[in-house]
Structure formats: C-alpha cells, structure tokens
Amino acid sequence: MSLNKVQLIGNVGKDPDVRYLDNGVAVAAFPLATTERGYTLANGTQVPERTEWHNIVLWRGLAETAEKYVHKGDKLYIEGKIRSRSYDDQNGIKRYVVEIFGDNMEMLTPRPVAGGQPQQAASQPQPSAPVQPARQADAAEDLPF
C-alpha cells in the first residue's frame, strides 16, 4: 500500500567509500549531485542554477560494482528509496541524515575501450556478476495467452 521511490541522474562527488560488515556484506557510500538549470521568471527575476547533494548508499553486489567501476565525476542513474536515520555526532548531539538506498544503478559515463583507441560509443565494464538484483526469467518463456 506504499511506494517510496527515488530516481536520480547526477554526478558522483567523491570516490565511493566502501566498507565490509563483519558478515562480509559490502556497503558503499558516496555523494551524488543533481543540478537544476537556472531560469528567468516572467517578472525578470533570475533564479540561479541549484545543486542538490544526495547521500547514496549501496549494498552487496551494487556496492562491489561501485567499488570497482564508480569514480568521482562519473554520471550515474540511481534508483532506490529515501531512508532517514539519526546518529549522535562527536559532540553527542543527535543528528539526522537522509540517505538514498539504491537498488538499481546504471553507469552513464562512457568508458574508453581497453587497448583500443577511445571512441564515442565506448564499451562499458561488463561485470561477471549482474549489476541488478535477481530478475525473473520472464524472457525465457513463451506467453500462454
């Protein structure tokens, strides 16, 4: 009965910070910037360009993919959900942070072809483990209708 979905296309502000939990689960965090173009109102007021920074958090396979292939400056598509959490900062003050827990990622920065001359339509990394979580085998079946 509920939907909490975020979709971002933006630029990575820093190389991902990737950590491994005791159980071996990878978690990656990095900032992603989305920028709205500035524009001029009917009354002549200039509304300047505005950048929003999003705290991206990825888990497991996506975190490992980010560790290998995502770098500062890259353009990414991230799909996920909004998650708030609080923590006590070093002064013992309760802080709130809003994060985007990503469950789908597409890398939009073309990569140069390894060993070849760079070209416009460069090949992307093809991780052996799929970037996306488990899919349904729907393409493998004929429809019974």
Partner DNA sequence: TTTT
Binding site for its own copies (CB under 8 A): 1-11, 17, 19, 21, 25, 27, 29, 33-37, 39, 41, 45, 47, 50, 52-54, 57, 59-60, 73, 75, 77, 81-85, 96, 98, 101, 103, 106-110, 120-121, 124, 126, 130-141, 143-145
Burial 6-30 (b: 16+ CB within 10 A, else e): eebebbbeeebebeeeeeeebbbbb
Q: Which of 17, 73, 104, 106 binds DNA (CB under 7 A)?
A: 73
Residue 68 contact partner, candidates DNA, its own copies, none, CB within 5 to 8 A by sort of partner: none
**Backbone φ, ψ for residue 128 (5° rounding):** -65, -40
* Beta carbons within 10 angstroms of residue 65's beta carbon: 22
CA–CA distance, 50 with 130 (Å, rounded to integer): 34
Q: Is residue 31 a contact partner of residue 56, using CB atoms and an 8 Å limit? A: yes
Backbone angles phi, psi at 140, to 5 degrees: -85, -5
By the rule CB under 7 A, 75 interacts with DNA: yes
12 binds, among DNA, its own copies, none (CB under 5 to 8 A by kind): DNA
In the bound state with its own copies, the residue whose beta carbon lies nearer, of 94 and 115, is 94
Among residues 8 and 27, whose Cβ is nearest to DNA?
8
